[in-house]
Structure 1
Amino acid sequence: MSSQIDLEDADEELVEHGWLGGILRRYKTQLLALGSVIVFGLVALAIFHLTTEVRYDDVVLALSETKYSSILLALLFTGLSFFALVFYDVNALEFIDKKLPFPHVALTAFSAYAVGNTAGFGALSAGAIRYRAYSRLGLTPEDITRVIAFVTLSFGLGLAAVGSIALLVIADEMGPLIGIDGIWLRLMAGVILSILAVLLFMGRGGREIAIGSFSLRLPDSRTWSRQFLVTAFDIAASASVLYVLLPDSSIGWPGFLAVYAIAVGLGVLSHVPAGLGVFETVIIAWLGNAVNVDAVLGSLVLYRVIYHVIPLVIAILAVAATELRRFVDHPAASSVRRIGGRLMPQLLSTFALLLGVMLIFSSVTPTPDSNLEFLSDYVPLSIIESAHFLSSLLGLVMVVAARGLGQRLDGAWWVLVCSALLALTLSLLKAIAVVEAAFLLFLIFGLVVSRRLFNRPASLFNQALTTGWLTAIAVICICAVVILFFVYRDVEYSNQLWWQFEFADEAPRGLRAVLGISILSAAIATFSLLRPATARLAPASDDAIERAVAIVEKHGVADANLVRMRDKSIMFSERGDAFIMYGKRGRSWIALFDPIGPRYALPDLVWRFVETARAAGCRAVFYQISPAMLPSCADAGLRAFKLGELAVVNLSQFELKGGKWANLRQTASRAVRDGLEFAVIEPKDVASVIDELAAVSESWLDDHNAKEKGFSLGAFDPDYVLSQPVGVLKKDGKIVAFANILVTETHEEGSVDLMRFSPDAPKGAMDFLFVQILDHLRNAGFQRFNLGMAPLSGMSKRESAPVWDRVGGTVFEHGERFYNFKGLRAFKAKFHPDWHPRYLAVSGGVSPMIALMDATFLIGGGLRGVVRK
């Protein structure tokens, strides 16, 4: 690969979108991440000022005074909330008319919410969990997108409805707390409820509403009502978790429900991971006048543990149980185990992230005096100081390694096992932290039980952290600093604190831990940000082309012969028995088709491609992939969007007999009467007619005012044309039309790439040429013929279809002036093919439109080529 910096693409972005627009488009993800960090910083400052009169000892005391009955009630309400959350997915699947076994849905939904509630960002989102599990259960990307859209929309609307209803009831009670007249609060709640009522009325009976060119089919009233009950029950139960943990106050449950709903909503809108800090700030600001702030803080800590950590532990236990040998023999357990194998890496990744955060935060909080007194009799001060400092650094290492665990890296598995074992030992040496040690032991158990899942031999340290993970690390560091200043706010700062080493002096210990975490975080961020600049990809070498062609010949994918065009780069698998061919446009690395090679090599090859693209500062895109690729893409964190449908003719059933073939039969008869003759020229003989073929190609390009394409289409390159058989039509001994026939040694599939006709070719020559090629391949023993893809064909028109499908369907119906979508579909339909969906898969945070535009420009040779045809 060339190291030359590709400044041309950056210049094109600036020209096409303007200077400011180009900068915003190019660095949108980074700017959003920076905004999230700034928001969190302001929130952290607000919390610090809101708790000016609160002391750490008071919070610990409030925690210790929490009644066991309150904790048991909180656990009960947590169970009820997660039980309701499962029915979000059940209702969504029923709405899109898909049925899956309830145990699979329950495990997937429970795990998705356990991860989503806890991590709340990027690769660890609930949507990623659903893609991984439901793609394995046979749902298409469109179906999964509709499920995610349903649960997201239903939660958002339900949250707004519940919060507004509660606000109507307690507006007079809530107003004085926030300095707003109760009338205005009721008016605000009434407006929200009116909007929701209008939506409910417009969607009665599952009607479709249209706003301009955008249309959306809403769920019917029965679905709305049922889902509202589920959402209301979920929000009420989750609010009750925190409510029963709070001490008695003058605020009733209805009033608290409104506060809770608003806090959750603002936490989601803030884009801060898990709403951390934002949720707490709202609760403290609104309840601080009615409840002691120290008690509120203690309850919030306990709430996070009960509602976020415990469900995650339960999800890991449930999946780990299916991994144990004694459960595998039962068919039902074996089925759930296959789904669990998709979920376990993400569950353990999230749990490792949590434990890393726990180690960091424990390094800036004091050790109980009784524990320190006990340790001082047996452990030297130097050991305690070292254990405290190293434990904080291990926490950050675990946070970083958690990402690799989610990607099933064996190196991340080893790093986390070793880190957890060492941290477990240090947790006992530094503070006799039994709970901390128990959690670490549980992580080790989960890692050992699921060892077989982490089999990707990729380097953990050669990967740059994504913007989402860097944002999370920044939030964690800010939290650590805020906790440090909160805990030791009564300690007067002096430079000498850094050099104090005594059993009783814990503020210096926390200062040194924060400094170590900050330095290590800065080093990790610098390493990730100073990654190589985007480089221009070098075309594949002759040796690479020969190796790729040898692989193509052993597999039945005719279109893979496009690798012979030499206009794409090639990435081989570790064993060299599979490859991906790809090109680059803008910041997109675009892989063409499924990887070519044995099925077992494809998942690792997909991971390597995604990681290599990311390390180069680019996004990974897969263009025209089959449904078989979707699970591997979901595992790698890619989202799939339907591109169209591939037409494949079953050659064993192809014969021009019967009524459905009448039109083609008549076309073929007319072509014979017009004097057209068909012949197949083998590769060794193509050189003798290459000049005639070139003349036909040039006349076709001139007649259509077109230029040669690339990437997913072949161009008239002599070496390329000479490599495969060519089907020709002759009239009066002169070639008037030709098509190169793409085949492999397996005789599984044939296809056609270049199709060129002279202006004087008789009408219907194209149909006749295809008929003759299909007949020739059938007689040669080929099983199927690939007619190529019909773009935007077969987009979903069902209820709650994804926006992508809606837009694609609209373009297919009304975009004839730009591209002959319907005409191309109609031409392929003449041959009565089977239609197979094809997809575009893009990295999680990338708009599919950007990726599709990059692919279009790559095929057309830039903007000019696309405009010119």
Structure 2
Amino acid sequence: MWLEADGACRLAPCLYTVTELSHSSPDHAPPATSPVPTEAVALGWQRLKPWLIAAAALLLCLLLAAALHGLAGEVRYDDVMKAIAGTHELDIVLALMATAASYLILSGYDFSALAYAHARVNRGTVLLTSFTAYALSNTIGLGPLTGGAVRTRLYTAAGLKAHQVAQVVVFNAAAFGLGITAFGAVALLWGAPEVAGLVGLPPELLQLGSGLLLVGVGVFLALCRRQRNLQIAGRWRLRLPPAGLAVRQLVISAFELTASAAALWFLLPGERIDLPAFTAFYAIAIVAGIISHVPGGVGVFEAVMLMATRNDVPADSMLAALVLYRGIYYIVPLVAATALVLGWELKSGVGTPIARAATRLSPRLLAALTLVAGLWLIASGVTPFTEDAREMLATLNVPLPLVEASHFLGSVAGLGLLLVARGLFHRLDAAWWAALVLAVVSAVLALPKGIALHEAGLLATLAVLLVVSRKQFDRRSSLLSMRLEPGWLIGLGAVLAGSLWLLFFAYQEVAYTHRLWWQFELDAQAPRSLRALLGVALAGMAYGLWQLLRPPVGQAAAPTTEDLDRAAAIVAANPRADACFALTGDKHLLFSPSGRSFLMYGKQNRSWIALYGPAGDKAEWAELAWRFVEMARTHGGRPAFYQVRPASLPLYLDCGLQAFKLGEHAHIELPGFDLKGAKRANLRSGMNRGEREGLVFEVIEGEALEAALPELRAVSDAWLSRQKTREKGFSVGRFDEDYLRRLPVAVARREGRILAFANLLVTAPAEEAAVDLMRHLPDAPPGTMDFLFAKVLLHLKDRGFQRFALGMAPMAGMAERRHAPRWQRLGRLLYEHGERFYNFRGLRSFKDKFEPVWEPRYLAAPGGVAPLWVLLDLAALIGGGTKGVIGK
């Protein structure tokens, strides 16, 4: 019988790893296959692709930075400020209207994506989701990730399934790419003569290229009309949208790109470049910003627009328009989206899933707004105030020390806002207090600093929004314990480099001398800016060095007996049976400050893998998840959560992780369970045969279990010897007397002798139960394990348990292997060369005989190739090291 061959591993929660594959029975193992060369090439490309993209983006940024520096040398800072001040109020109003129209039209992307995914969502929810997602992604960049996280949270709360949300995110990204291609081609076809002068190519060649692009779009529409699925390279299957939906989306893209281009076009001086040619330049600049991977395309977008329009628009006027455009199209929507989300919270509370999901987005939005405010403060610190501000400061007789101090402290406060923005993203209460204090102080200092009313308005708005969102920052932590990743430190270096360039640009006519550092006059603006930038640089370097040189917080210790006792008390009150795996003693335990919750995890190489997620008080789960992710990243590790349930996915998505489906988990509804019917024939026959053989079922614990431990060990050793395997760990139980003492054990006896046993994973709420170890003597009668298993189910039913967990069927519920997601194909390549192979279909078929309820299980991990390394390290954790992965 199948249960007799490998009962312990089959009925324990199953794992999609090499370790489990090595536990498969030889009778079920498919023939070995050789590596697929194309998969090896794909794996190599997957590793190289991020580096190649980064190198291309860096090269693009360097080329554009050099071009921008050359163009800026022909422009004076005062001329740019005069051009900004001279912009007509009507043009600003028109730009605001075009911005509003653009964001409204952008919601059409989401409506089309929902139609493609065959999903229905309330119109108000779609508008809120679209506006919030685009306001955040336009400012931060990485649209599919930042905007995708917003859509995942809000659309999931609206009732969409995970695959529908994924389709919405992918459709938005693909629709944008198709739209900008089609619209840019039309604009290039129209404005080819103007663009030709920029790129140095004949207009006819550009028109030919744009015509070919339009033909390609036409072919795509024809495919949408003729078929619903497109096979790509024989591996990927793309479900094409209906032709009507594709055409509608192209129209939406055309109107949206026109509106967003018009928002900048209205800010140009009276003699404007023709709109068709301008939109072609605009589309090219947008694409360049996306390719650069720079947040918001800052600098890259400006460089392309300056180069593209240098023959038609004065550089100072173009720079002025670009500065205003950044404020109107990026900052204003971000402020509005943050206020809208917080207003929703004040109006609706947290009574509905949408309201709860929306309010949980406020930390992300406030973190982005804090970043913008910090950049604004640093930029204003290295640039002079206006002549009107100087006259007003002189008229009001503001003391010079106050002007100097406000300028210096305001710049350092800007750096502080950049640093605490990360803490706001992680919802730290200390970061909230720091951001609030810095925003209020900076808003006050903005007045003596240079009568910077716009700056004061932004900071005051930030302070108000922080006060409104106070209860969202509920994670008690110290800012000193926050560790910045290398990416953040590199970002700080880029900010300092950009500020230095802006300083030289603003004061390019001022000759540098050492005396500048000691000049303290109201008109001595260059010295004031030098000192402010020095303060920012010194503070930033000190913080960066402290981050790099501070010692690690230490290694995780093995759980003590006291830790296991604390965990056992939490497990006893937990409704989920899988929490019992914390009692095996081979995993680290992370407790909440209150001690009412814990998280179990293991470490292998750079992977920190939490098993099943937090257990205990649900109110503390988010905090535990965040603490675990930050702890792993502090040590340079990759955090992951293994076998998590769909209901808890938002916890891990909020931590910046991605969900990868592992398979489906089965459980039996015990109240309706019995041994009747054809599908229960084996269990019924095994139980009857066991009774005829004189087998007796018993559940032992306490003193009876203590006395039986030597006999149980003899059964376990005999089973391991016959199976020619060794003990596993982590998500599979092992014979350990301390572990077995904490849980009841079901045994099958004959004439008082124990022939087989199974330890029961049960808790006080009697909601879910499972078995872990199932082992028997070689001379046990045939059908002994069926007898034991049937008796266990009936015993648990009589005890009032509601569910019995059968464990996971790896790969169950997924698409055909050939069309599986890329990470799964690469994962199979890594796992398919073990000594034995896993019987995916056989396991699913066996569990189907119990007519179970199936539920997906996921791996929450960073993107890219990280899931592959996590699964490899997971296999080593379960197998007890690399040797356990290769052998049995």
TM-score normalised by structure 2 residue count: 0.88
Amino acid at match of 1:262: I
Q: Distance in 2 between matches of 1:483 and 1:520?
A: 19
Task: Check 1:290–1:572 CA distance in 2 against 1; reply closer, same or farther (3 A cut).
Answer: same
Q: Distance in 1 between matches of 2:428 and 2:192?
A: 53
Q: Is the contact made by 2:144 and 2:169 (CA closer than 8 Å) also made in structure 1?
A: no
Amino acid at match of 1:209: Q
Equivalent residue runs for 1:277-288 within 5 Å: 277-288=299-310
Please state how far the C-alpha of 1:695 moved relative to its aligned partner: 3.8
Task: Check 1:414–1:233 CA distance in 2 against 1; reply closer, same or farther (3 A cut).
Answer: same
**1:786-830 deviations in whole A, cap 9, x for unaligned?**
111222222367999965578889999999963222222222222
Amino acid at match of 2:383: T
Q: Distance in 1 between matches of 2:173 and 2:767?
A: 44
Q: Is 1:59 aligned with 2:64?
A: no
Q: Is 1:412 aligned with 2:461?
A: no
Give the aligned partner of residue 322 of structure 2: 300
Q: Is the contact made by 2:610 and 2:641 (CA closer than 8 Å) also made in structure 1?
A: yes
Residue aligned with 2:115, SS = helix
Equivalent residue runs for 1:596-745 within 5 Å: 596-672=615-691, 677-730=696-749, 735-745=754-764
Q: Is the contact made by 1:206 and 1:218 (CA closer than 8 Å) also made in structure 2?
A: yes
From 485, 499, 504, give the equivalent of 1:480. Answer: 499
Please state how far the C-alpha of 1:625 moved relative to its aligned partner: 1.5
Q: Is the contact made by 1:748 and 1:784 (CA closer than 8 Å) also made in structure 2?
A: yes
Q: Is 1:342 aligned with 2:360?
A: yes
Q: Distance in 2 between matches of 1:407 and 1:763?
A: 57
Please state how far the C-alpha of 1:83 moved relative to its aligned partner: 1.0
Q: Is 1:257 aligned with 2:257?
A: no
Could you tell me which runs of 5 or more consecutive residues in structure 1 were left unpaired when the two chains were aligned: 1-21
Amino acid at match of 1:128: A
Give the aligned partner of residue 612 of structure 2: 593
Give the aligned partner of residue 172 of structure 1: 193
Q: Is the contact made by 2:823 and 2:868 (CA closer than 8 Å) also made in structure 1?
A: no
Q: Is 1:438 aligned with 2:460?
A: no
Deviates more, 1:857-866 or 1:287-296: 857-866
Please state how far the C-alpha of 1:590 moved relative to its aligned partner: 1.1
Q: Is 1:363 aligned with 2:384?
A: no
Please state how far the C-alpha of 1:261 moved relative to its aligned partner: 1.0
Q: Distance in 2 between matches of 1:488 and 1:158?
A: 42
Q: Distance in 1 between matches of 2:55 and 2:587?
A: 36
Deviates more, 1:708-717 or 1:847-856: 847-856
Q: Is 1:514 aligned with 2:536?
A: no
Residue aligned with 1:355, SS = helix
**1:720-740 deviations in whole A, cap 9, x for unaligned?**
233322233456765443322
Q: Is the contact made by 2:607 and 2:637 (CA closer than 8 Å) also made in structure 1?
A: yes
Please state how far the C-alpha of 1:752 moved relative to its aligned partner: 0.7
Equivalent residue runs for 1:218-229 within 5 Å: 218-229=240-251
Deviates more, 1:360-369 or 1:226-235: 226-235
Q: Is the contact made by 2:611 and 2:643 (CA closer than 8 Å) also made in structure 1?
A: yes
Task: Check 1:330–1:703 CA distance in 2 against 1; reply closer, same or farther (3 A cut).
Answer: closer
Please state how far the C-alpha of 1:665 moved relative to its aligned partner: 3.0
From 79, 100, 106, give the equivalent of 2:100. Answer: 79
Give the aligned partner of residue 17 of structure 2: none
Residue aligned with 1:709, SS = coil
Q: Is the contact made by 2:625 and 2:651 (CA closer than 8 Å) also made in structure 1?
A: yes
Higher relative contact order (CA 8 A, sep 6+): 2
From 816, 833, 855, give the equivalent of 1:836. Answer: 855
Please state how far the C-alpha of 1:674 moved relative to its aligned partner: 6.0
**What percent of counterpart residues are identical?**
45
Deviates more, 1:790-799 or 1:406-415: 790-799
Aligned length: 845
**1:309-333 deviations in whole A, cap 9, x for unaligned?**
1111221222232343xx34898xx
Give the aligned partner of residue 178 of structure 2: 157
Could you tell me which runs of 5 or more consecutive residues in structure 2 were left unpaired when the two chains were aligned: 1-42
Give the aligned partner of residue 789 of structure 1: 808
Q: Distance in 2 between matches of 1:45 and 1:506?
A: 27
Task: Check 1:24–1:491 CA distance in 2 against 1; reply closer, same or farther (3 A cut).
Answer: farther
**1:592-619 deviations in whole A, cap 9, x for unaligned?**
1131112112122222222222222223
Q: Is 1:97 aligned with 2:118?
A: yes
Q: Distance in 1 between matches of 2:244 and 2:834?
A: 36
Q: Is 1:88 aligned with 2:83?
A: no
From 485, 497, 512, give the equivalent of 1:466. Answer: 485
Give the aligned partner of residue 386 of structure 1: 405
Q: Distance in 1 between matches of 2:263 and 2:215?
A: 29
TM-score normalised by structure 1 residue count: 0.90
Please state how far the C-alpha of 1:745 moved relative to its aligned partner: 2.7
From 324, 329, 340, give the equivalent of 1:318. Answer: 340
Please state how far the C-alpha of 1:124 moved relative to its aligned partner: 8.6
Q: Is the contact made by 2:745 and 2:760 (CA closer than 8 Å) also made in structure 1?
A: yes
Give the aligned partner of residue 27 of structure 2: none
Residue aligned with 2:141, SS = coil
Q: Is the contact made by 1:41 and 1:478 (CA closer than 8 Å) also made in structure 2?
A: no
Residue aligned with 1:87, SS = helix
Please state how far the C-alpha of 1:360 moved relative to its aligned partner: 0.6
Amino acid at match of 2:79: D
**1:402-436 deviations in whole A, cap 9, x for unaligned?**
22122222111111111111111110011011111
Give the aligned partner of residue 40 of structure 2: none
Task: Check 1:635–1:831 CA distance in 2 against 1; reply closer, same or farther (3 A cut).
Answer: same
Q: Is the contact made by 2:571 and 2:579 (CA closer than 8 Å) also made in structure 1?
A: yes
Q: Distance in 2 between matches of 1:343 and 1:283?
A: 33
Task: Check 1:814–1:675 CA distance in 2 against 1; reply closer, same or farther (3 A cut).
Answer: farther
Q: Is the contact made by 1:129 and 1:343 (CA closer than 8 Å) also made in structure 2?
A: yes
Please state how far the C-alpha of 1:30 moved relative to its aligned partner: 10
Please state how far the C-alpha of 1:765 moved relative to its aligned partner: 4.5
Give the aligned partner of residue 354 of structure 1: 372
Deviates more, 1:80-89 or 1:528-537: 528-537
Deviates more, 1:384-393 or 1:187-196: 187-196
Task: Check 1:26–1:165 CA distance in 2 against 1; reply closer, same or farther (3 A cut).
Answer: closer
Q: Is the contact made by 1:46 and 1:281 (CA closer than 8 Å) also made in structure 2?
A: yes
Give the aligned partner of residue 12 of structure 1: none
Please state how far the C-alpha of 1:749 moved relative to its aligned partner: 2.1
Residue aligned with 1:125, SS = helix
Q: Is 1:47 aligned with 2:68?
A: yes
**1:107-144 deviations in whole A, cap 9, x for unaligned?**
12211110110122599922232333334334444433
Give the aligned partner of residue 24 of structure 2: none
Q: Is 1:131 aligned with 2:152?
A: yes
Q: Is the contact made by 1:532 and 1:615 (CA closer than 8 Å) also made in structure 2?
A: no
Task: Check 1:726–1:344 CA distance in 2 against 1; reply closer, same or farther (3 A cut).
Answer: same
Q: Is the contact made by 1:796 and 1:806 (CA closer than 8 Å) also made in structure 2?
A: no
Q: Is the contact made by 2:823 and 2:865 (CA closer than 8 Å) also made in structure 1?
A: no
**1:470-506 deviations in whole A, cap 9, x for unaligned?**
3432332222112111111111112221222111121
Give the aligned partner of residue 21 of structure 2: none
Q: Is the contact made by 2:415 and 2:536 (CA closer than 8 Å) also made in structure 1?
A: yes
Q: Distance in 2 between matches of 1:499 and 1:26?
A: 53
Give the aligned partner of residue 861 of structure 1: 880
Q: Is the contact made by 1:533 and 1:617 (CA closer than 8 Å) also made in structure 2?
A: no
Give the aligned partner of residue 228 of structure 2: 206
Please state how far the C-alpha of 1:272 moved relative to its aligned partner: 0.9
Give the aligned partner of residue 270 of structure 1: 292
Amino acid at match of 1:80: A
Q: Distance in 2 between matches of 1:306 and 1:250?
A: 19
From 230, 235, 238, give the equivalent of 2:260. Answer: 238
**1:252-288 deviations in whole A, cap 9, x for unaligned?**
2222212111111110111111111011111111111
Residue aligned with 1:576, SS = coil
Residue aligned with 1:386, SS = helix
Task: Check 1:701–1:208 CA distance in 2 against 1; reply closer, same or farther (3 A cut).
Answer: farther
Task: Check 1:60–1:622 CA distance in 2 against 1; reply closer, same or farther (3 A cut).
Answer: same
Task: Check 1:85–1:42 CA distance in 2 against 1; reply closer, same or farther (3 A cut).
Answer: same
